[in-house]
Amino acid sequence: MLRKHFLSIFTENTFRAKQEAFIIQKPKIMKKLVALFFLFTLLSPVFGQTGKQTLDFSAGVMFPLSDLSDNNLSDSSSGASATGYHLQLSYDYQISDWFGIGVDVEFNNAKYSMSKVADYYSELLDDAQKVITSPEGWSIGGIYFRYYLHLPISSTLSFDLSPLVGGMGTYSPEYRIERTSFYPSKAANITETYTRQRSKAFSFAYGAEGKLLLKTNHHGIFLSVRTLRSKVNFNSVSGIGYDTKPYEQKITMNIMYITASAGYSYYF
């Protein structure tokens, strides 16, 4: 009995330890990306000369394109994303008067578009009433490396053009659709429910950025437009179908979006 008691305690403690370890190690896109960004900036003093380095912060709007924007819900790769917001931290090092290198950490968030879903269902000729809810939308983060061409326009104004390459982390939305059909010949209405859980994927991404900068001493402001693209494979998309049976499938999406933002620069 004593042995069984100790084995029971050991098993329970081991199970709790695994649970706690899982909770602690649960991936957080922004935490990992920001940690990598600050590691890079901590190593920045090795680059040398004062005044050649820049820290940027910017915020703006994210416009979904391609599969991310598509509202054809009969295609499982359609994202039906609304316009979202964009946040970015950047570090640059000016190698010469014309060229530089940099690293960006960005985060984008957008809701699952109720208007796009409503537009899709409005074109269907059926008698069903739909109620759609989505507690979690699209979350897209990434860390990107770049070299840029620096084009001076005047002593304080310049334009940077750069290709981007790096890694993207994507969380798809969670949503629920309740469909109620009305049949005059039946006393009771029939309600069917379709759900999809949030899923995640990590992928290679590439793009480009154009930036207009105004610099005065150690400070500056800028306007930036960038576009990014990635082929994203969601290996485990799960939920419950209208037939009340659970499902799990793989979905491939062509994620593409444009961001437009304004920001502040500090030169050191």
- Identify the domain containing residue 218 by its residue range: 51-267
Torsion angle, alpha carbons of 256, 261, 264, 268, to 10: 30
pLDDT tens digits for range 15-32: 444 444 433 444 555 555
How many structural domains comprise the chain? 1
**Comparing 7-11, 165-169, 230-234, which segment has the lowest mean pLDDT?**
7-11
Instruction: Check residue 62 and give its pLDDT.
Output: 98
Average pLDDT across the chain, whole number: 84
Q: Answer for the pair 207, 229: CB distance below 8 angstroms, yes or no.
A: yes
Torsion angle, alpha carbons of 206, 201, 195, 243, to 10: 110
pLDDT at residue 40 is higher than 60: no
For the stretch 147-156, contacts whose Cβ atoms lie closer than 8 Å and that sit 24 or more positions apart, written own/partner, are: 147/99, 147/100, 147/101, 147/102, 148/92, 148/99, 148/100, 148/101, 148/102, 148/209, 148/211, 149/98, 149/99, 150/94, 150/97, 150/98, 150/99, 150/100, 151/98, 152/97, 156/214, 156/215, 156/216
Q: Give 251's strand partners.
A: 234
Q: Is 25 contained in some domain?
A: no
Instruction: Check residue 209 and give its pLDDT.
Output: 98
**Spatial separation of the C-alpha atoms in residues 246 and 94, rounded to whole Å:** 54
Q: Is 8 contained in some domain?
A: no
pLDDT tens digits for range 42-97: 544 444 455 689 999 999 999 999 999 998 888 889 999 999 999 999 999 999 99
Q: Is 59 contained in some domain?
A: yes
Query: 195, 201, 203, 196: which is closest to 234 by C-alpha?
Result: 201
Q: Answer for the pair 143, 105: CB distance below 8 angstroms, yes or no.
A: yes
Instruction: Check residue 81 and give its pLDDT.
Output: 96
Instruction: Check residue 23 and give its pLDDT.
Output: 39
Mean pLDDT of 200-214: 98
Torsion angle, alpha carbons of 144, 253, 227, 119, to 10: -140
CATH of residue 87: 2.40.160.20
Question: How much is the pTM?
Answer: 0.78
Q: Is 19 contained in some domain?
A: no
